[in-house]
Amino acid sequence: MLKVDHDMKVKFLHGFSHKTRIQILECIKEEEKTVSQIVEDIQGNQSNISQHLACLKGCGIIVGRQEGKYVYYGLRNQQVRELLTMFDVVLEDVESDVATCENHIE
């Protein structure tokens, strides 16, 4: 059995815990995109998107690839893509419980 560092797990999961970061991840789930493309796709603010990209990159969830003057952002690997898909599968099953949960802490 794997030894779990709970603090590290929480830090990793923090990368998924903001609406903008989830939007970014969904935006780049199937293909790499530049900051400008991400900003356009999710109708966000470039500075804000850049901060969230830094968080996602810092947590090891995404990677950036330099090509000329552009950086293309994509998911780190297939496992991250599968994790995002699994979030959707599990959420579909528990969505009504999540919607009515009064114990959610912001």
Q: Which domains does the chain have, with CATH numbers?
A: 17-98 (1.10.10.10)
Coil, strand or helix at 3: coil
Q: Nearest 5 degrees, angle CA 91-CA 23-CA 48?
A: 140
pLDDT value of position 4: 79
Residue 1: pLDDT over 80: no
Mean local confidence (pLDDT), 61-77:
97
Neighbours of 89 (CB within 10 A): 8
Q: What predicted TM-score, i.e. pTM, was given to this entire model?
A: 0.89
Distance in angstroms (rounded) separating the CA atoms of residues 87 and 79: 12
Inform me whether the pLDDT recorded for 33 exceeds 90.
Answer: yes
Burial of 74 (0-12, 13-18, 19+ CB in 10 A): middle
pLDDT value of position 106: 56
Residue 33 to residue 6: CA distance in whole angstroms? 32
CA distance 32 to 22: 15
Residues 36-64: pLDDT tens digits?
999 999 999 999 999 999 999 999 999 99
